[in-house]
């Protein structure tokens, strides 16, 4: 072994740099090679900053700035000036991005104006024209939010407020209706009462215009004679008054009046910064909530005149004694708790688990700013972010918690899952990695969080118990890039010493993510260019090698320094061990998400071997039968054997056409010319089974004039209406 390689292996095993040819990476400002292109984020077009839409509608509570600009351009940039307007609008977008990155905050419109004045300084009036036209096409406005430490809480609170506002409106409408109807009942009762039929009241009711035309005393006497037979029971009157009092005193939603009357209690707040607080508030408000829910239920019955004291009194006496089910809780506000994983104390954590496991309508945002922190074990014990990930995994295990895990770079793409989580009846956990830990890394939070997701350190997924009964419906992992691979692979191109373009595929592994954090610098060592040799292999390759005895290859990374010069860095064994662990965790997530599912693969292997066995037996049976036939009729048996073989190859599950019998009638090719094609005798065959649906196969089989299309079994189990299709396909199998 060469001396250099020996030194590399020594570093790999011990983490010490014995030779002067291995440099410490501190201060070199290295970043993973794949990040070379993302040095200046303000120059790039990406999802951020986001616009938190000021008047959120049903689904639309957030939009990306680039999305808004694109939408505006699609209407504004038309005609001969289109290209000019597009250029100016994009420059504007970039200017806003620069402003936001510089720390400016405010709504889109204020920042737009600010950026416009900045741009106007050195440009002509065509710019003003372009911007005016683009601005006119922008219909939304709202606060701008960049990808920073505050983003997860801001975004989720914004979404939550939008959902609560809608809920509040619905609830108010319902409540107002109840109050109005109940008041009407009381009013009607009064009209029939003694006082209601008094001359004074009748006069008031008619108004002053007809004072002389009417004799209200006579009318009152007349009415008094027609006494209603069934009197309004006092108990009902009392009950309705009580209901009205309860409905009027509710504190769960802000009342409709702009300025609440004195004496009415202030509405509750549902936003908390600790699990304990939320839990305490929930318990404290429980009696009030039950009272209100009961009042609503009774009021509905009263309005319909269905309330019967003998039947319902006892029933409502016990109302809510066993707690309320999610159905009853649904109209009431949800609680939102925003906590930080780093500051979380053990008691707080147990409160969180209580919230999640008890099915309360509490939504929890668990924000993680640093997943690379070292565990309390200290030196050598790298439990990277395991604590925060534990919580999400445990929550999934609870089976009825909506769990969303994502890094903040991906939150915009997860806006709909976010709304689904907020609408979910029951607890929801939003575990978000913000990437904002300035003291550990030179990279902006957006890149850090994107890297965490890309490197499988913090995979994005959602678990939605309301989506269906099984994992396939509930678990969604596809948001991660290249979900079926261990590590995502990206193309990377650079210029070598001879000024030639070199491109290779690089896997982005957990080690790349670690390497962007300066606390891990001691696990890395830069190898000077003249010492590069073949024993340095990429990390992903090293991970897939089985190690026996002393290693002869050392894992290495490609990185770039501040001047965008390519550097090679070797990695010690601890990081590799960590990466291996991360890969195992990713594998188990993949299985949950249905990628490389071991159960399915096991089943498939079993079925395949059984099928092969069967085929082998059949082939042997043919081999035995063939010589007999050959003896009797040599000429005929040859063709017959060929025909039999052809038939044996056909499984009834496989779709096929008896091509020689095709009468070229164009039925199937008209139906789908990609799926069905003609051979060089102009007779149909299945050219591409994936080019169409099973429904089309069945339809083709039905319309085939000579019934030679056999649709087999469906290939896509999710195709709608399969049951009916299978029935239709039966005669053609």
Partner 1 sequence: MNMMSDMNSATACLLQMTDEHFQLEDYQSGVPRWCTGCGDNAILAAVQRLCRDEALRPEKTVFVSGIGCSSRFPHYMKTYGFHGIHGRALPVAEGVKMARPDLTVFVNTGDGDCTSIGAAHWIHAIRYNMNLTVFLHDNQIYGLTKKQASPTSPIGTKSNTTPRGSYLEALNPLTVTLGVQNVSFVAQAADWIPEVLFDIVKAAYHHRGLSFVRIIQRCPEWLPKALDPWMHDPNKVLLLNHANGLQASAGLSRVYKNQIEHDPLNIDRAREIASDTETIPVGILYNNPAVPCYEDLRQSDKLRTADLTRAGLNAELDKYTVWPQGAEQKVA
- The interface region with partner 1, picked from 152-160, 352-360, 595-603, 664-672 by CB under 8 A, is 664-672
The answer to whether 649 contacts partner 1 (rule: CB under 8 A) is: no
- Residue number, 627 or 660, with CB nearest to partner 1: 660
Are 503 and 520 within 8 A, CB to CB?
no
Q: What does the per-residue mask of binding to partner 1 show for 51-70, with x meaning CB under 8 A?
A: --------------------
Q: What does the per-residue mask of binding to partner 1 show for 253-272, with x meaning CB under 8 A?
A: --------------------
Q: Any long-range contacts for 238-242 (C-beta under 8 Å, 24+ apart)?
A: 239/298, 239/302, 239/307, 240/182, 240/185, 240/186, 240/302, 241/186, 242/295
Please report how close the Cβ of residue 452 comes to partner 1 at its closest, in angstroms. Answer: 57
The answer to whether 681 contacts partner 1 (rule: CB under 8 A) is: yes
- The interface region with partner 1, picked from 90-98, 140-148, 195-203, 674-682 by CB under 8 A, is 674-682
The answer to whether 390 contacts partner 1 (rule: CB under 8 A) is: no
Cβ atoms within 10 A of the Cβ of 179, count?
15
The answer to whether 673 contacts partner 1 (rule: CB under 8 A) is: no
Are 115 and 96 within 8 A, CB to CB?
yes
- Residue number, 662 or 686, with CB nearest to partner 1: 662
Q: Which of 138, 341, 662, 686 binds partner 1 (CB under 8 A)?
A: 662
Q: Which of 109, 157, 255, 703 binds partner 1 (CB under 8 A)?
A: 703
The answer to whether 598 contacts partner 1 (rule: CB under 8 A) is: no
Q: Which of 670, 716, 721, 727 binds partner 1 (CB under 8 A)?
A: 670
The answer to whether 286 contacts partner 1 (rule: CB under 8 A) is: no
Judged by CB under 8 A, the chain residues 613 through 642 that form the site for partner 1 are 636, 639-640
Burial class (CB in 10 A: 0-12, 13-18, 19+), 520: buried
The answer to whether 502 contacts partner 1 (rule: CB under 8 A) is: no
User: How many angstroms separate the CA atoms of 71 and 73, rounded?
Assistant: 5
Cβ atoms within 10 A of the Cβ of 48, count?
25
- The interface region with partner 1, picked from 338-346, 460-468, 505-513, 654-662 by CB under 8 A, is 654-662
Residues binding partner 1: number (CB under 8 A): 20
Length of the chain: 733
Cα angle: 499, vertex 502, 507; to 5 degrees: 145
Are 542 and 557 within 8 A, CB to CB?
no
The answer to whether 680 contacts partner 1 (rule: CB under 8 A) is: yes
Please spell the DSSP secondary structure of 131-196, one letter per residue: HHHHHHH----EEEE-SSTTHHHHHHHHHHHHHHHHHHHHHHHHHHHHHHHHHHHHHHHHHHSTGG
Among residues 160, 148, 158, 161, which one has the least CA distance to residue 432? Answer: 148
Judged by CB under 8 A, the chain residues 706 through 725 that form the site for partner 1 are 706
Please spell the DSSP secondary structure of 211-261, one letter per residue: TTT--HHHHHHHHHHS--SSPPPHHHHHHHHHHHHHHHT--SS--SSSSPP
The answer to whether 696 contacts partner 1 (rule: CB under 8 A) is: no
Are 404 and 429 within 8 A, CB to CB?
yes
Cα angle: 575, vertex 581, 585; to 5 degrees: 140
Cα angle: 290, vertex 292, 294; to 5 degrees: 65
Please report how close the Cβ of residue 405 comes to partner 1 at its closest, in angstroms. Answer: 53
325 token code pair: 């089910």
The answer to whether 663 contacts partner 1 (rule: CB under 8 A) is: yes
- The interface region with partner 1, picked from 194-202, 382-390, 502-510, 662-670 by CB under 8 A, is 662-670
- Residue number, 391 or 708, with CB nearest to partner 1: 708
Q: Which of 233, 664, 688, 716 binds partner 1 (CB under 8 A)?
A: 664
Helix extents (H) in 385-507: 386-397, 415-423, 445-454, 471-474
Please report how close the Cβ of residue 662 comes to partner 1 at its closest, in angstroms. Answer: 6
Are 593 and 483 within 8 A, CB to CB?
yes
The answer to whether 643 contacts partner 1 (rule: CB under 8 A) is: yes
- Residue number, 263 or 660, with CB nearest to partner 1: 660
- The interface region with partner 1, picked from 41-49, 108-116, 232-240, 658-666 by CB under 8 A, is 658-666
- Residue number, 301 or 677, with CB nearest to partner 1: 677
Q: Which of 4, 464, 667, 699 binds partner 1 (CB under 8 A)?
A: 667
- Residue number, 108 or 668, with CB nearest to partner 1: 668
The answer to whether 705 contacts partner 1 (rule: CB under 8 A) is: yes
Positions touching partner 1 (CB under 8 A) are 636, 639-640, 643, 660-667, 670, 680-683, 703, 705-706
């Amino acid at each position: 072994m060469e001396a250099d390689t020996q030194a590399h292996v020594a570093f790999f095993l011990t983490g010490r740099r014995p030779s002067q040819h291995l440099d410490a990476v501190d201060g070199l400002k290295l970043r993973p090679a794949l990040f070379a292109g993302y040095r200046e984020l303000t120059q790039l077009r990406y999802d951020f900053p986001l616009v938190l839409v000021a008047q959120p509608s049903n689904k639309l509570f957030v939009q990306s700035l680039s999305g808004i600009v694109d939408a505006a351009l699609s209407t504004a940039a038309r005609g001969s000036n289109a290209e000019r307007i597009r250029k100016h609008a994009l420059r504007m977008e970039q200017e806003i991005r620069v402003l936001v990155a510089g720390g400016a905050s405010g709504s889109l419109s204020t920042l737009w104006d600010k950026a416009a004045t900045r741009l106007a300084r050195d440009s002509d009036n065509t710019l003003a024209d372009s911007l005016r036209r683009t601005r006119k096409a922008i219909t939304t406005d709202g606060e701008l939010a960049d990808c920073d430490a505050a983003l997860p809480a801001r975004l989720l609170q914004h979404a939550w407020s939008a959902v609560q506002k809608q809920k509040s409106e619905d609830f108010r409408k319902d409540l107002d209706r109840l109050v109005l109807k109940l008041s009407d009942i009381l009013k009607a009762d009064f009209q029939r009462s003694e006082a209601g039929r008094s001359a004074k009241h009748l006069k008031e009711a008619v108004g002053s215009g007809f004072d002389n035309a009417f004799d209200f005393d006579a009318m009152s006497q007349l009415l008094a004679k027609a006494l209603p037979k069934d009197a309004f029971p006092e108990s009902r009157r009392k009950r309705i008054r009580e209901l009205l009092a309860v409905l009027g005193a509710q504190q769960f939603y802000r009342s409709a009046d702009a300025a609440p009357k004195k004496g009415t209690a202030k509405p509750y707040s549902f936003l908390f910064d600790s699990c304990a607080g939320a839990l305490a508030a929930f318990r404290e408000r429980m009696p009030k909530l039950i009272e209100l829910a009961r009042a609503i239920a009774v009021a509905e019955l009263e309005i319909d005149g269905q309330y019967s004291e003998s039947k319902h009194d006892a029933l409502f006496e016990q109302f809510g004694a066993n707690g309320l089910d999610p159905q009853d809780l649904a109209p009431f506000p949800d609680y939102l708790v925003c906590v930080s994983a780093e500051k979380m104390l053990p008691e707080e954590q147990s409160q969180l688990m209580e919230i999640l496991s008890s099915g309360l309508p509490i939504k929890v945002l668990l924000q993680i700013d640093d997943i690379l922190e070292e565990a309390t074990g200290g030196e050598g014990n790298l439990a990277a972010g395991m604590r925060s990930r534990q919580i999400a995994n445990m929550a999934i295990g609870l089976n009825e918690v909506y769990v969303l895990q994502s890094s903040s770079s991906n939150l915009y793409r997860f806006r709909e899952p976010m709304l689904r989580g907020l609408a979910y009846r029951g607890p929801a956990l939003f575990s978000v990695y913000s990437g904002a830990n300035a003291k550990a890394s030179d990279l902006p939070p957006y890149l850090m969080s994107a890297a965490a997701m890309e490197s499988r350190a913090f995979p994005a997924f959602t678990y939605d118990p309301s989506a269906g009964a099984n994992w396939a419906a509930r678990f969604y992992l596809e948001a991660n890039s290249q979900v079926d691979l261990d590590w995502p692979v990206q193309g990377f191109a650079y210029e070598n010493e001879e000024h030639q373009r070199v491109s290779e595929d690089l896997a982005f592994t957990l080690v790349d993510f670690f390497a962007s954090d300066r606390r891990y610098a001691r696990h890395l060592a830069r190898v000077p260019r003249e010492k590069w040799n073949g024993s340095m292999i990429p990390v992903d390759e090293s991970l897939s090698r089985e190690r026996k005895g002393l290693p002869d290859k050392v894992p290495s990374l490609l990185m770039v320094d501040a001047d965008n010069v390519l550097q090679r860095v070797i990695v010690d064994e601890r990081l590799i061990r960590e990466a291996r662990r991360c890969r195992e965790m990713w594998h188990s997530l993949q299985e949950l998400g249905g990628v490389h599912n071991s159960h399915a693969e096991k089943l498939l292997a079993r079925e395949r071997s059984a099928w092969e066995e069967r085929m082998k037996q059949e082939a042997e049976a043919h081999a035995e039968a063939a010589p007999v036939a050959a003896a009797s009729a040599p000429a005929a048996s040859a063709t017959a054997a060929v025909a039999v073989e052809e038939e044996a190859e056909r499984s009834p599950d496989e779709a096929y056409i008896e091509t020689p019998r095709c009468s070229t009638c164009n039925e199937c090719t008209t139906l789908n010319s990609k799926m069905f094609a003609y051979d060089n005798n102009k007779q149909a065959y299945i050219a591409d089974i994936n080019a169409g649906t099973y429904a089309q196969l069945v339809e083709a089989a039905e319309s085939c004039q000579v019934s030679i299309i056999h649709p087999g079994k469906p290939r896509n189990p999710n195709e709608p209406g399969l049951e009916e299709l299978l029935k239709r396909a039966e005669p053609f199998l």
